[in-house]
């Protein structure tokens, strides 16, 4: 790909965007800092975020380089089936809004380790706090920064990789050091740019498809062309591979194992991510229940449309590649290059807007992740174990220093790609390492919220057994128990080894972890003294909330009926 794709006009558009967001963030910070300066305001923006800001911040923090690059790549390779991550997320957010948030807010939960401490004990909380810190710094923060820098330097020139690495970090610092309030309100702009820039890229890509294939100038005809030229890319559910299935189809099924992933794995991944993840829940924990619910449901509604901007470009790149539009120098058919190939089609100025959209996604995710790292370290580690007498001002400064330290570590790790993120791919890298703990962590939270008998001993057992069971299914089950059992089917992967689809692994790991925790809990009292009190009033919904939930359900149902 040409290293000089971005022209002067593109850089001007990008710089205008940078100064607008940074200036707005500074204005929010200076306007609000005189009102409150405590830890809850800094880390949670307590009571100040509107439902629009909460929803926008959730989306901005979730959609990042691994979605734009990774999901476009999966769109190129697998097609619309990868949209399951977004559409099941929309349904998961309904569950979070209706049932999870009332439990968090009624019990004044501000961090996920705090939940574990109050529901179980100090040991469970500190183990998970330390683990989450390592996961967020060395997996999430670093992969987002690395993949984002690689994507943008692919357009500006690979020689600028390290410069872009530093600039993205500085941009994120400008936002993150202002606290959750600044993150939340600037994310409204970030999401607007992300969506507008994303739709512009898709629209122009569809125009190019119609021009190349039909010699026309219609985006709608371009979309119809995608469906006729790549019909296999418009099915949500893959059939189970047979003896005659080729390696590409098996690779698709291993990543997205048809209907089986909907029985548990896809739900475990989404509910754990959206409901038990400090990085995400933090945006709503400072609000009242109705505001939090509205914001989360607004995010769920936006999630329905995210595949259009993060997956459809990949299918467009596939059709253009199939029709010989790209030469080997610009795009060699590797899926991770699909989104950059689409951006290369855009006219001068529009490239700048689309790069601004990509940057918005990267920076919002970096700032949100850094703030979550800061929150967990400051409130769950530093204040409790290093300086119990620290005042509010000191804790805020510790939080800011933690953000700076986390960013410096991420830059150092990404500088020479010490974790080999480039080889695995950012999307795969994050899914792989977070997926190992998702079943155990989600079991802890779901049983801790809604089954009063769950004990601390069961929680410790669940954490350990959940991880071990995932490892067994992922690494040893085919050789120990065979390739075909009542629980799973293992398939020969590209490396010549038999592999169980990871979503199937997660589903069974969650089921066995819950079973183990239930059995251990039966050895304890019938009602754990630390169980949360629940009542019917917590889960009552206003008519407007029910209406929004119904709209989301109907749209998702219609999409699955259409593309099954």
**How far apart are alpha carbons 259 and 239 in whole angstroms?**
8
**What's the mean pLDDT in 238-244?**
84
Enumerate the CATH 1.20.1730.10 domain ranges in the chain, comma separated.
8-20+45-425
Q: Is 35 helix (H, G, I), strand (E, B) or coil?
A: coil
pLDDT in tens, 268-282: 988 988 888 876 777
Q: Is 349 helix (H, G, I), strand (E, B) or coil?
A: coil
Angle at 311 between CA 308 and CA 315, to 5 degrees: 105
Say how many Å lie between the first and final Cα of the chain, rounded: 36
Looking only at the bridges linking them, the beta strands covering 498-499 and 491-492 are antiparallel
At residue 498, φ and ψ (nearest 5 deg) are -80, 135
**How far apart are alpha carbons 145 and 169 in whole angstroms?**
8
The pTM score is 0.81
3.30.200.20, 3.30.1490.190, 3.40.50.300, 1.20.1730.10: CATH of 8-20+45-425: 1.20.1730.10
Q: Does position 350 have pLDDT exceeding 70, yes or no? A: yes
**What's the mean pLDDT in 415-427?**
69
Q: Does position 186 have pLDDT exceeding 80, yes or no? A: no
Q: Does position 287 have pLDDT exceeding 80, yes or no? A: no
User: What is the DSSP track for 446-510?
Assistant: HHHHH-TT--HHHHHHHHHHHHHHHHIIIIIHHHHH-SB-SS-B-EE-TTSSEE--HHHHHHHHH
pLDDT band at 188 (very low <50, low <70, confident <90, very high): low
Using a pLDDT cut of 70, give the percent of the chain over it. Answer: 86
**How far apart are alpha carbons 183 and 55 in whole angstroms?**
12
Angle at 303 between CA 301 and CA 306, to 5 degrees: 130
Q: Does position 42 have pLDDT exceeding 60, yes or no? A: no
pLDDT band at 3 (very low <50, low <70, confident <90, very high): very low
Using a pLDDT cut of 90, give the percent of the chain over it. Answer: 16
**How far apart are alpha carbons 56 and 62 in whole angstroms?**
10
pLDDT in tens, 485-528: 989 888 888 777 888 888 888 889 999 999 999 999 998 888 88
CA 41 to chain centre: 24
- Please state which of the ranges 58-62, 203-207, 315-319 shows the lowest mean pLDDT: 58-62
**pLDDT score of 240:** 87
pLDDT band at 392 (very low <50, low <70, confident <90, very high): confident
pLDDT in tens, 110-160: 778 888 888 998 888 888 888 888 888 888 888 888 878 877 776 777 788
**How far apart are alpha carbons 182 and 186 in whole angstroms?**
6
Q: Are 275 and 95 in contact (CB under 8 A)?
A: yes
Q: Is 387 helix (H, G, I), strand (E, B) or coil?
A: coil
**pLDDT score of 555:** 94
Q: Does position 49 have pLDDT exceeding 50, yes or no? A: yes
**How far apart are alpha carbons 321 and 393 in whole angstroms?**
56
pLDDT in tens, 334-343: 776 777 778 7
Q: Does position 391 have pLDDT exceeding 50, yes or no? A: yes
**How far apart are alpha carbons 402 and 395 in whole angstroms?**
10
Q: Which of 334, 9, 363 is nearest to 164 (CA)?
A: 363
Q: Are 2 and 330 in contact (CB under 8 A)?
A: yes
**How far apart are alpha carbons 399 and 182 in whole angstroms?**
15
Alpha-helical runs (H) found in 96-241: 101-106, 112-119, 122-135, 142-156, 161-176, 180-214, 219-229
User: What is the DSSP track for 206-247?
Assistant: HHHHHHHHHS---HHHHHHHHHHH-GGGS-SSPPPP-TT--H
**pLDDT score of 4:** 45
**How far apart are alpha carbons 320 and 212 in whole angstroms?**
7
pLDDT higher for 317 or 328?
A: 317
Max mean pLDDT range (76-85, 360-369, 442-451): 442-451
Q: Are 524 and 457 in contact (CB under 8 A)?
A: yes
Q: Are 414 and 142 in contact (CB under 8 A)?
A: yes
**How far apart are alpha carbons 96 and 292 in whole angstroms?**
10
pLDDT in tens, 160-172: 888 888 988 887 8
Q: Does position 321 have pLDDT exceeding 60, yes or no? A: yes
**pLDDT score of 28:** 65
**pLDDT score of 174:** 73
């Amino acid at each position: 790909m040409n290293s000089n794709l971005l022209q002067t006009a593109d850089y001007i558009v990008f710089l205008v965007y940078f100064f607008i967001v940074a200036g707005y963030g500074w204005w929010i910070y200076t306007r609000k800092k005189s009102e409150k300066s405590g830890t809850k305001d800094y880390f949670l923006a307590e009571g100040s975020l509107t439902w629009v800001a909460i929803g926008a911040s959730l989306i901005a923090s979730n959609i990042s380089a691994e979605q734009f690059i990774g999901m476009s790549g999966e769109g190129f390779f697998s097609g619309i089936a990868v949209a399951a991550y977004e559409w099941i997320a929309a349904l998961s957010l309904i569950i979070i809004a209706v049932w999870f948030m009332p439990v968090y807010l009624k019990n004044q939960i501000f961090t996920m380790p705090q939940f574990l401490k109050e529901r179980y004990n100090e040991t469970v909380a500190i183990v998970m706090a330390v683990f989450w810190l390592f996961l967020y710094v060395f997996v999430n923060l670093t992969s987002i920064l690395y993949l984002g820098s690689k994507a943008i330097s692919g357009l500006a020139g690979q020689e600028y990789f390290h410069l872009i690495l530093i600039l993205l970090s500085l941009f994120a610092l400008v936002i993150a050091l202002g606290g959750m309030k600044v993150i939340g309100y600037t994310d409204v702009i970030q999401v607007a740019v992300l969506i507008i820039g994303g739709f512009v890229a898709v629209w122009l890509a569809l125009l190019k498809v119609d021009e190349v294939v039909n010699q026309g100038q219609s985006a709608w005809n371009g979309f119809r062309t995608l469906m006729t030229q790549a019909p296999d890319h418009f099915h949500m559910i893959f059939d189970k591979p047979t003896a005659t299935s080729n390696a590409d189809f098996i690779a698709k099924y291993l990543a997205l194992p048809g209907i089986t992933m909907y029985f548990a794995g896809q739900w475990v991944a989404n509910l754990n991510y959206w409901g038990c993840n400090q990085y995400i829940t933090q945006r709503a924990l400072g609000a009242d229940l109705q505001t939090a619910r509205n914001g989360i449901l607004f995010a769920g509604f936006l999630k329905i449309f995210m595949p259009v901007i993060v997956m459809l470009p990949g299918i467009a790149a596939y059709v253009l590649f199939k029709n010989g539009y790209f030469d080997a120098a610009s795009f060699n058919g590797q899926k991770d290059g699909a989104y950059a190939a689409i951006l290369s089609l855009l006219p001068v100025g529009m490239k700048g807007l689309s790069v601004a959209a990509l940057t918005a996604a990267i920076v919002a995710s970096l700032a949100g992740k850094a703030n979550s790292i800061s929150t967990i370290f400051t409130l769950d580690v530093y204040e409790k174990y290093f300086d119990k007498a620290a005042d509010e001002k000191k804790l805020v400064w510790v939080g800011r220093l933690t953000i700076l330290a986390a960013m410096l570590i991420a830059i150092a790790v990404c500088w020479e790609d010490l974790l080999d993120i480039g080889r695995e791919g950012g999307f795969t890298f994050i899914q792989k390492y977070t997926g190992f703990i998702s079943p155990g962590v989600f079991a802890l939270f779901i049983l801790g919220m809604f089954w009063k008998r769950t004990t601390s001993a069961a929680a410790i057992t669940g954490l350990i057994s959940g991880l071990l069971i995932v490892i067994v299914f992922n690494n040893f089950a085919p050789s120990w128990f065979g390739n075909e059992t009542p629980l799973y089917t293992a398939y020969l992967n590209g490396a010549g080894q038999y592999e169980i689809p990871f979503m199937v692994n997660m589903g069974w790991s969650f089921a066995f972890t819950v079973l183990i925790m239930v059995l251990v809990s039966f050895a304890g009292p019938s009602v754990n003294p630390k169980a949360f009190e629940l009542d019917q009033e917590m889960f009552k919904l206003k008519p407007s909330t029910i209406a929004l939930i119904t709209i989301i359900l109907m749209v998702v149902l219609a999409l699955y009926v259409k593309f099954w």
